[in-house]
């Protein structure tokens, strides 16, 4: 009887652990969506301050790497407007140790302040961990999606 009790407690513990993981992944996915809306839409510095960890490695698709302060300043002062694809791309969320990785394809048209437009087609990978009891983004990498030229 004693062993059955321990087995039952173990199973319940695993079930509770799995639910916590799912909740954490949902929280991080919501944070990643808010980050995307903020970077390419509202450009609200307070939201960025809340989402960014104390140490941030923010890498653009063209290779430029920024610190936390540089990234926040660059996002807030960016005069471009973005027309984001209406084709919703799925988030992929994976947990590794104490970190949660979020991948998301991103397609948009960047309308620059000088009137020019550029198509954007890249994947954004963000890494989140708990800092002060909240999920914070510590790393972001945008990777350009290259298309193979059509064969003749």
Domain holding 19: CATH number?
3.10.450.50
pTM exceeds 0.75 for this model: yes
Please report which confidence band the pLDDT of residue 4 belongs to, taking 50, 70 and 90 as the band edges.
very low
Read off φ and ψ for residue 41, nearest 5 degrees.
-140, -90
Confidence band, pLDDT 50/70/90 cuts, at residue 151: low
Using pLDDT thresholds of 50, 70 and 90, give the confidence band for residue 129: very high
Q: Is residue 132 part of a domain?
A: yes
Q: Does some domain include residue 100?
A: yes
Query: Is residue 41 in a domain?
Result: yes
Distance CA 136, CA 58 (A): 13
Looking at the structure of the chain, the number of domains it has is 1
CB 137 within 8 A of CB 126: yes
Strand partners, 94: 101
Q: Which domain, by its residues, includes 99?
A: 2-144
- Asked if residue 152 belongs to a domain, the reply is no
Q: Average model confidence (pLDDT) for the chain?
A: 88
Query: What sign does the dihedral 121-53-28-47 (CA atoms) show?
Result: negative
Pairing status of strand 134-144 against strand 52-59: parallel
87 within some domain: yes
Domain presence at residue 32: yes
Q: Is residue 48 part of a domain?
A: yes
Q: Which residue has the tokens 């890249």?
A: 122
Which tens digit of pLDDT belongs to each residue from 53-91?
999 999 999 999 999 999 999 999 999 999 998 887 889
């Amino acid at each position: 009887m004693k062993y059955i009790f321990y087995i039952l407690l173990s199973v319940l513990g695993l079930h509770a652990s799995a639910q916590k993981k799912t909740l954490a992944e949902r929280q991080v996915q919501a944070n990643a969506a808010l980050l995307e809306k903020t970077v390419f839409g509202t450009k609200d510095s307070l939201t960025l301050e809340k989402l960014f960890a104390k140490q941030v490695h923010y890498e653009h698709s063209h290779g430029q790497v920024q610190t936390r302060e540089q990234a926040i300043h660059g996002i807030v002062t960016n005069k471009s407007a973005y027309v984001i694809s209406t084709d919703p791309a799925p988030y992929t969320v994976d947990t590794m140790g104490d970190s949660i990785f979020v991948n998301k394809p991103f397609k948009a048209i960047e309308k620059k302040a000088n009137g020019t437009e550029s198509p954007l087609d890249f994947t954004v990978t963000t890494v989140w961990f708990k800092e002060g009891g909240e999920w914070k983004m510590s790393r972001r990498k945008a990777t350009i999606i290259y298309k193979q030229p059509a064969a003749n």
